[in-house]
Amino acid sequence: MTEKHEDKIIADASKQNWVDAYAPEMVQPYLKLSRVDRPIGTWLLLFPCWWSVALATGQGQLPDAFLLVCFAIGAFVMRGAGCTLNDIADRNFDGMVERTRKRPIPSGQVSVRQAVIWLAVQCLVGLLVLLQFNLPAIIVGAASLVLVAIYPFAKRFTYWPQFFLGLAFNYGALLGWVGQTGSLSWTAVILYVGGISWTLGYDTIYAHQDKEDDILIGVKSTALKFGNQTTDWLFGFYLITLLSLTLCGWLNDLSVLFYIGIAGAGAHLLWQIRYLDIDNSDRCLMLFKSNKIFGAIVLFAIVAGNFQILD
């Protein structure tokens, strides 16, 4: 990759990401607005949807492939829409932060007007995906737009923007259940709570990358609020996540295979806490990205738990 291309790579994107390496130059800024060069966010948005669909599927069955694909497409485009909105809202801050100064708007690659048009295109695709679901799911999904709109501005008025991110990013725990069954249940609500706690944990780790810049520009985060007590808070958040997942499994009468998987997921979260160094940005980013592994372990645990190893 040439030095010119290296200069365009956003700080928390892989040096080998396919957008910078292969995408046509004219579309690269729009793909970067949608964070296609940093796909971890799509996975973190998608897994609660898939968890919920798998939980609602019922014993002895695999999740509906059509629903899984719809949620995958929906998570991809709506994560992109949310990130585009975030960049529009943060356009006056991003240029002052080392990690974000190369984003398309502060670097001048796209105008605010172009970003707004791109946002509208993504929302339209998201709407088309949502219309594939049943009517209750369409109504529940439309309500999530309120949370998506609030999150980009939360760090201006609270030290808990990660909580608002959790509300938005784990909404699929509710939507997945309704998409599968046509109604809500306590299992979906408990899964939603567990997902919010998970997000509070992993996004606090992520926020430690920006804490010095956040102080200078006057925005807030749980990383700043927790400071040196971050590991204690993470332990609490991740404990709530694991207890919530375990309760969901019990309510759905999942087999012992589920609990074996959740034990493995718990070990992964403990590893994150043990290995965390809040003053090491590279390690924070690596641990944040590792939550894709946690999400996959939980998904496999739920799917396996729908099958009894003994009749």
Phi/psi of residue 240, nearest 5 degrees: -60, -40
Tokens found for residue 50:
């898939």
Range of the structural domain that residue 218 is part of: 3-305
Q: What is the pLDDT of residues 243-271, one digit of tens each?
A: 999 999 999 999 999 999 999 999 999 99
Q: Is it the case that residue 293 has pLDDT exceeding 70? A: yes
- Assign 140 a pLDDT band (cuts: 50, 70, 90): very high
Residue 311 lies in a domain: no
- Give the torsion sign (CA, 295, 76, 132, 186): positive
Tokens found for residue 73:
């497409």
Provide the 8-state DSSP code for 140: H
CA distance 106 to 155: 19
Q: Would you state the pLDDT for residue 2?
A: 46
Residue 216 lies in a domain: yes
Residue 276 lies in a domain: yes
Work out the average pLDDT over 279-299: 96
Residue 275 lies in a domain: yes
> How many domains does the chain fold into?
1
Torsion angle, alpha carbons of 131, 64, 43, 37, to 10: -70
Residue 238 lies in a domain: yes
Q: What is the pLDDT of residues 152-177, one digit of tens each?
A: 888 889 999 999 999 999 999 999 99
Q: Mean pLDDT lowest for which of 45-49, 94-98, 113-117?
A: 94-98
Tokens found for residue 209:
């990358």
Residue 224 lies in a domain: yes
Q: Is it the case that residue 310 has pLDDT exceeding 70? A: no
Question: Which of the two residues, 23 and 137, has the higher pLDDT score?
Answer: 137
Closest CA to 98 of 221, 212, 219: 212
Predicted structure pTM score: 0.91
CA distance 144 to 138: 10
Residue 50 lies in a domain: yes
CATH code for position 154? 1.10.357.140
What's the mean per-residue pLDDT of the chain?
91
Residue 292 lies in a domain: yes
CA distance 127 to 105: 25
Q: For residues 276 and 205, is the Cβ–Cβ distance under 8 A?
A: yes
CA distance 43 to 145: 19
Q: For residues 201 and 230, is the Cβ–Cβ distance under 8 A?
A: no
